[in-house]
């Protein structure tokens, strides 16, 4: 196995590792979601009526849902990119996911930068074959 193929396989493995870490970290806002739902339903009100307004609970829950969705979507994209790095297809998708992964510091940044460096090599670009057509043509 040549060095480029070996590096792509190693990057694919690290994509899976960072995907699991991203999905796990994406579970932390579930606490905020529960608190937001408790604020909406009035469970945190102490029967004196001086609790926070209901809109605050909606805002709390909406922000938590957006954070969860963003992290889990990134974890799914990292898993998909890992599979495509292994199969040497969808070069542009892998490059875009690597660029977006740079946002998630520190591990996503390191993974994204190394992936971009490897994918920019002409010898690595030659390893990628065009994706199979849906129609099989």
Which one is predicted more confidently, 46 or 60? Answer: 60
- Domain residue spans of the chain: 3-123
- Count of CA atoms in the C-beta half-sphere (13 A) of 27: 5
Q: Per-residue pLDDT tens for 65-124?
A: 999 999 999 999 999 999 999 999 889 999 999 999 999 889 999 999 999 999 999 988
- Model pTM? 0.83
């Amino acid at each position: 196995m040549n060095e480029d193929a070996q590096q792509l396989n190693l990057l694919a493995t690290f994509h899976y590792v960072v995907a699991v870490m991203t999905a796990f970290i994406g579970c932390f806002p579930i606490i905020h979601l529960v608190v937001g739902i408790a604020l909406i339903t009035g469970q945190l009100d102490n029967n004196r009526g001086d609790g926070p307004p209901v809109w605050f609970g909606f805002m709390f829950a909406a922000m938590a849902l957006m954070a969860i969705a963003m992290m889990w979507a990134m974890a799914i994209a990292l898993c998909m990119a890992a599979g495509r790095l292994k199969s040497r297809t969808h070069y542009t998708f892998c490059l875009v996911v690597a660029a977006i992964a740079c946002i998630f510091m520190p591990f996503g940044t390191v993974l994204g930068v190394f992936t971009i460096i490897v994918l920019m090599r002409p010898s690595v670009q030659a390893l990628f074959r065009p994706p199979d057509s849906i129609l099989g043509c």
